[in-house]
Structure 1
Amino acid sequence: MLEVASAVPAVVDIFLDRAAGIPEIADRAAALVADFGASDTALPDVLFGRAAAAGRLPFELPCSMASVAAGREDVPNDSGDPPFPYGHGIRLG
């Protein structure tokens, strides 16, 4: 996937059932979509402008697993300087 995203503009949809460190994907993707269980028909509808979308992250996405390991396990959203902080989001439509 990283090879394709480096060669052509790519929209990357990532299903997030928990926080993930995805800096390599975020750096190479033309667009990055966080999916929390969208149907196979809903995502294309949003991507092609047939439906509006809105959302905010319920947790931060850290820059690396090392930053997660350095954080305190009893304190949410303390991974340092996350590329996508808690509450990051967008509204389309």
Structure 2
Amino acid sequence: MYRRVRLLDTTPTLVCVNLERPAVLPEIAANAAALVADYGASDASLLDVAFGRARAQGRLPFELPRSMAAVEASRPDVPNDTVDPVFPCGYGIELSTTRR
């Protein structure tokens, strides 16, 4: 079982996760006010999205598994093979710029 991140329970929090490889973060995804995945974006670019100065868009190139047990039960030679992923491969979003 994952330890809860108390800040997410008390303060609406935008969480940015660098996804150079898949991560197991179901509890963060369930409790964060917003979850952003980045693949090496600059801090300035991430803040532009967070404050509505730039448009958020993108799709996951792999699934985000629900647990390490799901990862261990998956076949290592088959992509996107975990049971009930938190976010499936291709999941994404495109948001309009909210303000200038």
Fold equivalence (TM over 0.5): yes
- Quick one: which of 84, 87, 91 aligns to 2:90? 87
| AA of the residue aligned to 2:22 | A
**Alpha-carbon RMSD:** 1.1
**CA-to-aligned-CA distance 1:14-65 (integer Å, 9 cap, x gap):** 0111001101111110100001111010001011111112100000000001
Q: Secondary structure at the match of 1:49?
A: coil
**CA-to-aligned-CA distance 1:39-92 (integer Å, 9 cap, x gap):** 010001011111112100000000001000000000000101101000000001
Is 1:69 aligned to residue 72 of structure 2?
yes
How high is the sequence identity, in percent, across the aligned residues?
59
Q: TM-score, normalised by structure 1?
A: 0.96
Q: Which residue of 2 aligns with 1:10?
A: 13
- Quick one: which of 3, 20, 26 aligns to 1:23? 26
Q: TM-score, normalised by structure 2?
A: 0.89
Q: What is the number of residues matched between the two proteins?
A: 93
> 1:63 and 1:12 mapped to 2: Cα distance?
17
Mark the runs of 5 or more structure 1 residues left unpaired by the alignment. none
* Poorly superposed stretches of 4+, deviation over 6 Å: none
Q: Which residue of 2 aligns with 1:42?
A: 45
